[in-house]
Amino acid sequence: MAFINENYLKLKAGYLFPEIGRRVREFAAAYPDKDIIRMGIGDVTQPLTPTILKAFHDGVEELGNKNTFKGYGPEQGYDFLREAIALNDYQQRGVEISADEIFVSDGSKCDTGNIQEIFGDKNIIAICDPVYPVYADTTVMSGKTGECQSNGYFDNIVYMPCNEANGFIPELPVTRPDLIFLCFPNNPTGTVATRAILKTWVDYAIANKSIILYDAAYEAYITDDSIPHSIFEIEGARNVAIEFRSFSKTAGFTGTRCAFTVIPNELFAYDEQGNQVAVKPLWMRRHTTKFNGVSYPVQKAAAAIYSDEGKKEIKGLIRYYLENARLIRESLTEAGYTVFGGINAPYVWVKTKNNLTSWEFFDKLLNETNVVGTPGSGFGPSGEGYFRFSAFADRDKVIKAMERIKNISY
């Protein structure tokens, strides 16, 4: 008899984005003539830029030539990419991270979920509410939680409500967590954390021997120079943090797949006897056992982002999406909505009108305007009554969507 992992049975609904996709497919099947505008999942729409595309092609060509063909690559990623990341994303910003602390992977979604595997079941995890649902779902799957309560919270997770009152910035938890997920710029609220806020968290983690799992997948959208792009800009973070970064939203790699995780050499956790154990070798062991690396052409393409031309092109992409975010923010504000985020992030977080629940607003929007967004409650109970618009759509569609929303009736 085969036994299942019963932790999966604790998960109440399907994963958020496939669930939205299902509802939209049903709507499209019922009304095939409707012009649906998708601003739900944060999936990029602009093509890979010329420099990146050329590097990608060159990589493919190399694989077709006997003299340059490559089989398995290093599981941790090719040196040329890890060195480019260390130099451009860290050292040139005055942050001490070396190539040997970087693990190239096929996505931050996978990494933020998989990282749990190297930490014991007894760890108490702290999660912002609302936040990217992968953190809570994978905590449940990994067996670190109890059942889901009627308020939507799982037992044994420390939830940190993020709301208008605290500016969508989590407060330090009363119950001491072992692992703390933080995500800035935040998905879904678009909030950023100042240096002072991050310092508070790093100090808290040091004092409590906790580890911060810092998801910085949207750091490229930071427009304010005073906002840190990396947790490692904060003194002491090398001892208490892991950082996740992605090329998905930075350079249009959602379909291509390429990301990386940074684990400093000085990061330690503890065994049952209280002995310090270095974290990086454990992740290396997992990575080399379960992963055979990102394909060579994709890594070549990713490295091209760090060339002078690549950097310029990527900035153009980010400007495009941030301009979309501005249009969304301003149009919705004009239409009388209370709006957050969208300045240092590609997500605009909106309060629904007339106390509609997030899913009621989703249905209203879909039915009356054929615009798709993401219900805030899908990111956690404190997201109820809010709605997330992604700025990754084509410009003309953003404009059309905003026109339609202005005319919505209440």
Footprint of ligand MLT (CB under 6 A): 41-43, 109, 132, 187
Please give the C-alpha separations between residue 30 and each of 25, 33, 363, in angstroms, as whole numbers.
9, 9, 14
Cβ atoms 296, 35 nearer than 8 A: no
Which residues on neighbouring strands pair with residue 262, listed in sequence order? Answer: 102, 243
How far, rounded to the nearest angstrom, does the alpha carbon of residue 95 sit from its chain's CA centroid? 21
Cβ atoms 118, 286 nearer than 8 A: yes
Nearer CB in complex with ligand MLT: 238/329: 329
**Closest CB to ligand MLT belongs to which residue?**
42
Work out how close the CB of 235 gets to ligand MLT at its nearest, in angstroms, rounded to a whole number: 30
Work out how close the CB of 131 gets to ligand MLT at its nearest, in angstroms, rounded to a whole number: 10
Place of tokens 């709301």: 163
Gap between the Cα atoms of 324 and 190, Å rounded: 14
Nearer CB in complex with ligand MLT: 331/390: 390
Nearer CB in complex with ligand MLT: 21/173: 21
Tokens at 409, concatenated: 């009736």
Cβ atoms 239, 206 nearer than 8 A: yes
Tokens at 389, concatenated: 């618009």
Work out how close the CB of 243 gets to ligand MLT at its nearest, in angstroms, rounded to a whole number: 16
Work out how close the CB of 343 gets to ligand MLT at its nearest, in angstroms, rounded to a whole number: 18
Helices (H) and strands (E) in the chain, counts: 13, 15
Work out how close the CB of 42 gets to ligand MLT at its nearest, in angstroms, rounded to a whole number: 3
Nearer CB in complex with ligand MLT: 42/185: 42
Strand spans (E) along 162-205: 179-183
Nearer CB in complex with ligand MLT: 170/264: 170
Work out how close the CB of 198 gets to ligand MLT at its nearest, in angstroms, rounded to a whole number: 22
Work out how close the CB of 398 gets to ligand MLT at its nearest, in angstroms, rounded to a whole number: 16
Work out how close the CB of 331 gets to ligand MLT at its nearest, in angstroms, rounded to a whole number: 20
- Closest to 99 (Cα-Cα) out of 282, 250, 303: 303
Nearer CB in complex with ligand MLT: 182/279: 182
Pairing of strands 374-375, 179-183: unpaired
Nearer CB in complex with ligand MLT: 18/146: 18
Gap between the Cα atoms of 92 and 80, Å rounded: 16
Nearer CB in complex with ligand MLT: 124/391: 391
Gap between the Cα atoms of 62 and 294, Å rounded: 16
**Quick one: 351 exposed, middle or buried, by C-beta within 10 A (0-12, 13-18, 19+)?**
middle
